[in-house]
Structure 1
Amino acid sequence: MFLTRFRVNTARPGARRLLSSPQVLHAAVMSSFPSLLPSNAPPPDGPRVLWRLDHTTRAEVMLYVVSPDRPDMTHLVEQAGWPAAATSSAPGWESRPYGPFLDRLSLGEQWTFRLTANPVHHIRRKADEPTKRTAHVTPVHQMGWLLQRQEQCGFRVLEKPADRRLLPGGTTHTGQPHHGDGYEFTVHDKRALSFDKSRGPAKAAGRKGAVSLVTVTFDGRLEVTDPEKLRRTLRQGIGKAKAYGCGLLTLAPLGAAG
């Protein structure tokens, strides 16, 4: 396993094209692996290629990739990097073995985390209708989506001490739980994406091949409750839309960015 970081040169036209469509960027990421054919599907329980864009500032965008093999991102440097500055020792991206870090994870460790995800649920408007996958659109429900998955993913989001909570019992005035007040995490950077699977940004709703999804980013603190489950989560991702930049969970020491 490898963890790779690539800084996007947002001033380049090629970068703007990549950033405009998760489908285009997905294809570019997958092209970083010479042995991976487009028809190859990841094994159900095995490691897969995961990626995420972090918009650190308006002008700084970082691409993170977790993959079974070491990538060759020469084409991304040419399209969306600084090709004139690339050298054999500094090709324009950084890749490090990820396995040693995964192997060291142990019960009870605490980390900061970052996750960009596509929180969804299934609803039925009428009793005789099939269920339909629908995005969670409020922060409380988006947080609840992650909290529902923490046990099976091998971690627990840390709870805030009582003296740092603003609401009595961590609830709203309606008596509903307010996860943002009770737990050490936030949800931000909500993006409603609409794009075409083959031709970039979707220009018209309902166009054949158009994809619409809502993504959000979680930042917070967690504790390892099951190292093996967490290793699997870090290799396989969380939730839907993994091909479109969702699901990649990363960890960093407490006090650092996720």
Structure 2
Amino acid sequence: MYLSRVEIATKNRQKIKDLTHLGAYHNWVEQSFPDEINLGERKRHLWRLDQLAGKNYLLVLSENQPDEGQLEKYGVSGTVKIKSYNRFLDAIKIGEIMRFRLTANPSYSVLQPGKKRGRVYPHITVKQQRQWLNERSEKAGFKLIRQRLLNSEGDDDGFAFDIVCRDHPVLYREKGHVMRLSRVTFEGLLQVRDVTVFKETLIKGLGREKAFGMGLMTVITEV
């Protein structure tokens, strides 16, 4: 596994003129693995968009190493960083406390009469979105750690993590159909409860719309 990052060239409008919707970012990620394309063995790549110190980044988790030149296509020259992720995964221990960041698509499905698959709806409120993560944490191999978080009135809000960003980026589908996806970024502390399951969560992601920048959880050890 490889974890890669590149700063997006947001100050070069000409260079990033194609990045108008989530599908364009998806194509950027896919084109960064030309060997997979040539072999016809397309792998699932988790990715997300991050902001750090006023800069915008594309973060990619992949089974194979991406092509540095392709990954830099819409990026700032010299900012590509590619690291092996296996050593980090192998060092994870049960009971370990980590700080996490997750960008996801909190949603639920409702069965429709006469259909095998349910219709998917996004969770709208902050409370619903937080509950979505609460309900999935145990099956994902971790426990959310209680912190004292204060709401805007200075009161303890009772949650173990926070939502740092909520938006609805555009995705262009075929035949000119335009839709907006619900995108939520969570941050907080967790404790590893099942190492095997937790590793699967980090590798395979959490929730829907993984092809369009959702589901990637990253963690760092809390000292």
* Fold shared by both chains (TM-score > 0.5): yes
What do residues 227-253 of structure 1 show as CA deviations (whole Å, max 9, x unaligned)?
100111111000100010000000013
How far did residue 30 of structure 1 move? 1.1
Counterparts of 1:254 and 1:115, CA distance in 2: 16
Are positions 1:27 and 2:22 aligned together?
A: no
SS at 1:71 equivalent: coil
Provide Cα deviations, 1:52-106, integer angstroms capped at 9, x if missing partner: 101235x410111110011113134243322xxx4xxxxx311111011101111
Instruction: Identify which of 87, 101, 119 aligns with 1:132.
Output: 119
Determine if contact 1:12/1:80 at 8 Å carries over to the other structure: no
Matches within 5 A, 1:167-206: 181-197=157-173
Segments of 5+ residues of structure 2 without an aligned counterpart are none
Whether contact under 8 Å (2:6, 2:81) holds in the other structure is: yes
Q: Which residue matches 1:248?
A: 216
Match of 2:61 in 1: 66
In structure 1, distance between residues paired with 2:144 and 2:134: 7
Q: What amino acid does structure 1 have at the position aligned with 2:83?
A: R
Q: Does 1:52 align with 2:48?
A: yes
Larger-gyration structure (1/2): 1
- Cα deviation for residue 254 of structure 1 reads 2.1
Aligned to 2:204: 236
The sequence identity of aligned pairs, in percent, is 31
* Partners of 1:235 and 1:165 in 2: CA distance: 29
Secondary structure of the residue that 1:239 maps to in structure 2?
Answer: coil
Gaps of 5+ in 1: 43-47, 87-91, 168-179, 199-206
Aligned residues of 1:239 and 1:246 also touching (Cα < 8 A): yes
Say whether the 8 Å CA contact 2:36–2:42 is kept in structure 1. Answer: no
Tell me, what secondary structure is at the counterpart of 1:28?
A: helix
Tell me the residue number matched to 1:99: 86
Q: 3-state SS of the aligned residue for 1:153?
A: coil
1:158 pairs with 2:159: no
Following superposition, the deviation at residue 218 of structure 1 comes to: 0.2
Match among 33, 48, 72 for residue 77 of structure 1: 72
Counterpart of 1:141 (choices 122, 128, 149) is: 128
Q: Which amino acid aligns with 2:132?
A: W
The TM-score, its normalising length taken from structure 1, stands at: 0.75
Query: Are the counterparts in 2 of residues 122 and 132 from structure 1 also a CA contact under 8 Å?
Result: yes
- Of 183, 186, 189, the match for 1:215: 183
Amino acid aligned to 1:122: S
Superposed displacement of residue 40, structure 1: 4.4
Q: 1:129 to 1:144 in 2, by over 3 A?
A: farther
| Structure 1 segment 7-46 matched on structure 2, within 5 A | 7-13=7-13, 14-18=15-19, 20-37=20-37, 40=41, 42=43
- Paired residues in the alignment total 215
What's the secondary structure of 1:15's corresponding residue?
coil
Q: Distance in 1 between matches of 2:98 and 2:114?
A: 43
Alpha-carbon spacing, 1:16–1:137, altered in 2? closer, same or farther (3 Å): farther
Secondary structure at the aligned position of 2:137 is classed as helix
